[in-house]
Amino acid sequence: MQEKTRARRKPNIRIGASDHSKLIAFANAMAERNPEVSEELLLELDRARVVADGSIPDDVARMGSAVTFKPDTGEAKTVTLVFPGDADIAQGKISILTPIGTALIGLSPGQSISWTARDGRTHELEVLDVRKPGAPVPSETAALAAASDRA
C-alpha cells in the first residue's frame, strides 16, 4: 500500500505594499550575511498577496503588530514584530528574521502555520490575536479571553 504523505499547505497571507517593499529590500540586503534566513523571508513574501496599505485589516500581522499565538511547545505568547535593530526579547519584541517572526507575518487569528526552528525541528503555531501597530497590548489573559470569545 502506498503511503500518502502530503505537505500541509501554508495559509494564505496578506501584506501591505509598504511592508512588502521594505521587507524585500531588507531580505535582499541580508542575503549575503545570512542566506538561509533571507531565503525564508523571501519565500514568505513571494507567496503573500500584496494589498494597498489601507486595505490591511487591523487583525493581520504586520511590522509593529502585537501577535498572540499558541505554539505547539507550550503556553500562549504575545510578541511584537520588529526589525532586528529593535528586537528585545525581554520586552517581547521579536525580529522578523527569527523563524517565528517570519512565520507570523501576514497571518490572522485562527490561522496556523508550520515553521522550522533553527535546530531543524518543525513546529506549529496558531495565531490567537493580532493588534495593529500602536494599539495597546492587552495582557495575555485578556488576549486569550478575546480569542476564546471568537471561537
pLDDT digits (tens, 9 = 90+) for 101-139: 999 999 999 999 998 888 888 989 999 999 988 776 655
> In whole angstroms, what is the distance from residue 113 CA to residue 12 CA?
10
pLDDT bracket for residue 57 (50, 70, 90): very high
Give the pLDDT score at 132. 87
pLDDT digits (tens, 9 = 90+) for 45-55: 999 999 999 99
pLDDT digits (tens, 9 = 90+) for 72-89: 988 999 999 999 999 999
Give the pLDDT score at 2. 44
Q: Residues 6 or more apart from 8 whose CB is under 8 A from it?
A: 114
- Which of these ranges, 31-40, 43-52, 139-148, has the smallest mean pLDDT? 139-148
Whether the predicted pLDDT of 20 surpasses 90 = yes
pLDDT bracket for residue 5 (50, 70, 90): very low
**Residue 102 · residue 40 · CB < 8 Å:** yes
pLDDT bracket for residue 1 (50, 70, 90): very low
Give the pLDDT score at 7. 55
Give the pLDDT score at 120. 85
Whether the predicted pLDDT of 140 surpasses 80 = no
Per the prediction, the chain carries an average pLDDT of 86
